Amino acid sequence: MQNTNILISGASVGGPALGYWLARYGFRVTVVEKAPTLRPGGQAVDFKGNAHMTVLSRMGILDDVRRLQTGGADQTFVDARGRALAVLPGEFTGGELEIPRGDLARLVYEKSVAAGCEYVFGDSITSLTETSDGVHATFERSAPRTFDLVIGADGIHSNVRRLAFGPESDYVEFLGHYYALAELPERFGAEPQIYNEPGRMIAAGGPKASVFFVFAAPRLDYDRYDTEQMKRVVLDAYAGMGWQTPAVLDAVRRTGDFYLDSISRVKIDRYSEGRVALVGDAAYANTLGGFGSGLALVGAYVLAGELAAAGGDHRAAFRRYEEGFREYAKVSDKGNAGPWLAPPSQTRITMRNWTFKVGFLLKLMMKMTDDFADNIALKDYPSLVRDALR
């Protein structure tokens, strides 16, 4: 086995999943994460189809995901007076299994630690210099180290992609909308509800004190690490909106758990550059597209499997990873959730709601997502590696 010392940037879902598989195959793995601890929050994520279930099962976490699943509750579209207009079925947004992102991240992290991964929290890569036999990495806090390979699993705003491939503006396409997620000090109703005005959506209520925003806007300039500045963006965008919005905005002012980002997608013509490769949202993000965590887990499984099957030969492994995965990841090239969640006119809002009242349209949309989820033939990498080591 060659190239056994690997650095992964990002400890959300894809990074720990990749670390688990690589450590299981005998690689020495270090994961660096900018956040000081594992990030607990985030939206619920969902899985569906044989490919997702196969990877979860082979990781040994399928039963845990089932135990922690949320059930995918129905959400009701309402008017300004709270009257029901249509129902967004839980099975449409929640797939076969829906689990809070934080719970999934913890499960995968614990599996990777048990497999032997080293974690460095509160740090970030500042430079990558490739040599003939490795990649020299410098960090904000840690001492410089040299690794055989570096993998960027650090999201749509990937630091590794920026350092090894080029500026974010070359690879991330802004889709004209933003979304925000806030954990609030109080709940707004017993049942999940969604309210729209042209170009704006707010979802609140249900068993958890959280609220979700989607709104149309030109590209905004703000600090992604400044919570108060991000809150101000949303408070300004939702000023004057009806329904429960004023009370929700008052609660937003008091919360410290708030996240804002653009709805964007990654457009990139390759997943690797020399000894550096990308996995998950760093390579194939489409914000709120519904496939992010599934693509990250399956992509991590394929990349680690190809590295192990190639005996650590990164050139062959990276080529096979891209050849075997790009068609599956094409789902991220399509669609924009922004205009669907926050339609630009009242007419478009009415048309969107109407689709959920027509059974065959709902079934057609669900079939399309089901087909995308299973559009890959997975190799049994664990068996291939065991056979190679005999």
pLDDT tens digits for range 227-280: 999 999 999 999 999 999 999 999 999 998 899 999 999 999 999 999 999 999
pTM of the model: 0.93
User: Residue 389's pLDDT is what?
Assistant: 63
As to burial, measured by CB atoms within 10 angstroms (0-12 exposed, 13-18 middle, 19+ buried), residue 269 is exposed
Comparison of pLDDT for 90 and 323, the residue scoring more: 323
Q: What is the mean pLDDT of residues 372-386?
A: 82
For position 103, what pLDDT does the model report? 93
Mean residue pLDDT of the chain comes to 92
pLDDT the model gives residue 205: 87
pLDDT band at 15 (very low <50, low <70, confident <90, very high): very high
Count other C-beta atoms under 10 Å from residue 242's C-beta: 12
Instruction: Give the pLDDT confidence of 47-88 residue by residue, as tens digits.
Output: 988 999 999 999 999 999 999 988 767 899 999 999 999 998
3-state helix, strand, coil in the chain (%, to 5): 40, 25, 35
Beta bridge partners of 200: 197, 215
* Residue 41, pLDDT above cutoff 90: no
Calpha distance 102→82 (Å, rounded): 31
> d(Cα 19, Cα 30) in Å, to the nearest integer?
8
Residue 373 has pLDDT above 80, yes or no: no
Question: Using H for helix, E for strand and C for coil, what is the string for 35-64?
Answer: CCCCCCCCCEEEECHHHHHHHHHHHCCHHH
pLDDT of residue 69: 87
Q: Give 106: exposed, middle or buried? Use CB within 10 Å, 0-12, 13-18, 19+.
A: middle
Neighbouring-strand partners of residue 257: 183
SS3 262: strand
